[in-house]
Amino acid sequence: MDEINKIRLLLLVHLPPPKHGVSIINSYAESILRASNKFVITTIPIRPSKNINSLKGIGIQKFIYSIKLLFTLFFRIIVFKPQRFYFTPTPKSPVFFRDLIFIILAKLSRARVFLHFHRQGLNDIINKNLFVKNLAGFVLKNCTLIHITPYLVEKEFIETNLNKKTDTHFIPNPAISTPIFLNNIEKRQSQILFFSNIMHEKGVLELVNCLPLVISQKPEARLLISGAIVSNSYYQNIIDRIFELNISDYVVINPNPSNDEKVKLFNESKIFVLPSNEDCFPLVINEAISYNLPVITTNVGGLHTVFDDKTYNIHFTANDSLSLSTCICKTLEKENTDKGFNNLLSNFNNTFTERLITILSSE
C-alpha cells in the first residue's frame, strides 16, 4: 500500500522499561501494527518510572512527567495529524482523570479514538458520583472501547451504559513468550510455582497463608516464589509471614530471576499458582499453560469467559486459605496431560493480531 493511502496511527502507550504486563503487551501490539501494511505509525511511549519499584505511587516527578507528556502529545498531533489514536488508559484515580485530558486532546484533533483497557477499575471510578459518570460518558462518547475479557466488556462498558454511543470489543491477551523445554531438568512432582511481580495484587501472601494446610495433607510439597520485587515492604511481609508460620523449610524465594532461571523454574515445577487479588489477565497464565503446567488462579476479571477449564488445564478458586489449599492438593494429585496447549495458545496470538488490526483499520 502506498504511504499516502495508509492510515496515520498515533500510539500513546506504556512501553518497557520497566517491564510489566501492560508494557509488554503494548510493545507486542506496536510491533504487530508496524508490521502491518495498513498504517503509518508514530509512538509516544509512556514511561513514568525508570524501574518497577517506583511504578506505584503519585509524586511531584510523575506530575511533571504528565505535563511533559501532555505537551508531547499536543505537538505530535500538530505535526503528525493522526487519523487514528490508540491509547491504553489506566482506570485508577487520579491517573484516569489525567488520561481523560489526553483523550479530549486527541478528539479535538478529529482522530478516531481507540481505548484499550488492560485492567479493571473503570466501573468503580465512574460510579463514585454522578459528575464523574457524566464526565466519563461525555469524554468516551464515540470512542472505540476494547477490553481483555467478555466479562469486563459487560461489566465496565455495558452495565455502565458507556456502550450507548461507542463501539465495544474484546481482545484476549496474547501468549507472547515461547516455551523452552529442557531435557536435562527433572520435573519435581510436588513443586508449586508462583512466578510474577511480587506485589499485593498478585496474592503472594494469600498463597503463603494457605501453605500450612497444604503441608498438612502433602508434607512433600514445596513452594517456589519468584519474580521482580515491586514493593520492598510487601516482600518483607512475605518473609516475616513465612517465619511466623514456621514454614521456611517448605518455601524457596528467588527474587529478580534471570531468564535462564525462569525457564528452569517452569520446566521443573508441577503446578503454577497465581491467586490474584486484582490482576485480571496476567500474561504469565498464558505462559504457564504454554509450559503444560496446570494453572490455579482466581476468577478476577472473568477469566472463565476466556478459558474453558475443559479445554485448558486451568482451575478457578477463591484465594482464602481453605479453598486455595484444597484446589492445590487436588491438582497435585493429578497427572499432567498434554492437550496441545501451544496450538491452542497460538490461537490467542492470531486472535489478538487479527482483531487489533481489523478494529484499528475499520472505516
The string of pLDDT tens digits covering residues 185-202 is: 888 989 999 999 999 999
User: Is residue 91 classed as helix, strand or coil in its secondary structure?
Assistant: coil
Domain 3-170 - what CATH class? Answer: alpha beta
pLDDT at residue 339 in the model:
60
pLDDT at residue 335 in the model:
78
Query: The whole model's pTM is what?
Result: 0.94
CA 225 to chain centre: 19
The string of pLDDT tens digits covering residues 238-251 is: 999 999 999 999 99
Asked if the bond preceding 212 is cis, omega within 30° of 0, the reply is no
The CATH 3.40.50.2000 domain(s) of the chain lie at: 3-170, 191-343
pLDDT at residue 55 in the model:
61
The string of pLDDT tens digits covering residues 201-225 is: 999 999 999 999 999 999 999 999 9
CA distances from 245 to 225, 239, 251 (A): 16, 10, 11
311: confidence class by pLDDT, cuts 50, 70, 90: confident
Question: Is residue 227 scored above 80 in pLDDT?
Answer: yes
CA–CA distance, 280 with 233 (Å, rounded to integer): 23
Q: Give the CATH architecture of domain 191-343.
A: 3-Layer(aba) Sandwich (3.40)
Q: Which stretches of the chain are assigned E, i.e. beta strand?
A: 7-14, 39-46, 84-87, 112-116, 144-147, 167-170, 191-195, 222-227, 251-255, 271-274, 295-297, 314-316
